[in-house]
Amino acid sequence: MRQAGFTLVEILVVLVIIGITVAMISINLVPDDKRVLTTEAQKLALLFEQARDEAIISGKEIAWSVEGDKTRFWRKDDKGKWATVSGDDLFRDRDLATGVTLAELQINSVKAAMNERLIFSPGGMNMPFKLDLVLNTSRVSIAGDNLGKLVLKNDE
């Protein structure tokens, strides 16, 4: 007569399956640096496209800059001086993702100061630029040409 219950082998197989499942879930819950950096670069690229479009539609220059771990958009006021954009949810000040920094900014193939403004012209013709975002050992570049076409590149 056979007793009801599970054998040791059956219990071990179930434990192995549970262990593998938990390991895979925990790996997917913690985003890796490349994913965080790529997401941040995609957000910035979309904001740049919106800024370019807004400059063309409004007929006024819009600029973007980084100050520490914050990104900021600027518009010229009535006196022609740059002022931060306020009261606009799309172009509000934003924090970069934790640990993400601007490593380099080039405007028209010339290295620019980290806090220099990247200007989007109302005529639609902009200076080409390239900026590098870094998180630990991961690096992502955003490059824009004269017409506003943006390209993201993961650098290893």
pLDDT in tens, 56-79: 999 999 999 998 889 999 998 888
107 in a structural domain: yes
Domain CATH code at residue 123: 3.55.40.10
pLDDT in tens, 6-59: 788 888 899 999 988 888 777 766 678 888 899 999 999 999 999 999 999 999
87 in a structural domain: yes
7 in a structural domain: no
CB of 71 within 8 A of CB of 105? no
4 in a structural domain: no
2 in a structural domain: no
**To the nearest whole percent, how much of the chain has pLDDT over 70?**
95
Closest CA to 143 of 134, 151, 135: 151
Domain count, the chain: 1
132 in a structural domain: yes
Q: Which domain holds residue 53?
A: 33-155
In angstroms, the CA 133 to CA 153 distance is 10
